[in-house]
Copies of this chain bind each other. A is one copy, B any other.
């Protein structure tokens, strides 16, 4: 049994090696609509390779701590953005690549109002809402060819709940 993984709070800096955090933090890039709307412009590094962008909806089952992490996956052909459609936290699991297999996974707990974009090819756990209805918009690659690689761990990891 490995040491449980303890989620850390999501931040743009800590998540930078894996993807982007989309949030209304700091000054907006533009004020539009006669002053009524703040635009935080073009905050995700999208890459759909030879495919195109699509918007899909995901509805995923709510999960509870402690979580068993037996698999991570990656999409070698495209980035994947997860936009929560409810103002709640969700869990994001990622892992660095270590020579074609995932290294030690990390877990992040988002703040309500944060969306994330996984860069192309980033190892990650499946979508993990912590509350109902688990509704997300997903911006990812639509196209032909294999775009899913799974890695099953010989020994699953355990992800503990966040510290109080």
Which A residues are within 8 Å of any B CB, using their own CB? 22-24, 28, 32-34, 36-44, 46, 48, 52-61, 81, 83-87, 113, 115, 117, 126-127, 133-135, 137-139, 142
- Closest CB of chain B to A155's CB: distance in Å? 18
Give the number of times this chain occurs in the complex, counting copies.
2
Say whether B24 contacts A59, CB under 8 Å: yes
Q: Is the interface of A mostly helix, strand, loop or mixed?
A: strand
Say whether A126 contacts B54, CB under 8 Å: no
Most buried by B among A42, A52, A55, A85: A55
The residue from B24, B115, B139 contacting A53, defined by CB atoms under 8 A apart: B139
Say whether B36 contacts A137, CB under 8 Å: no
Distance between Cα atoms of A17 and B38 in the complex (Å): 28
- Closest CB of chain B to A139's CB: distance in Å? 6
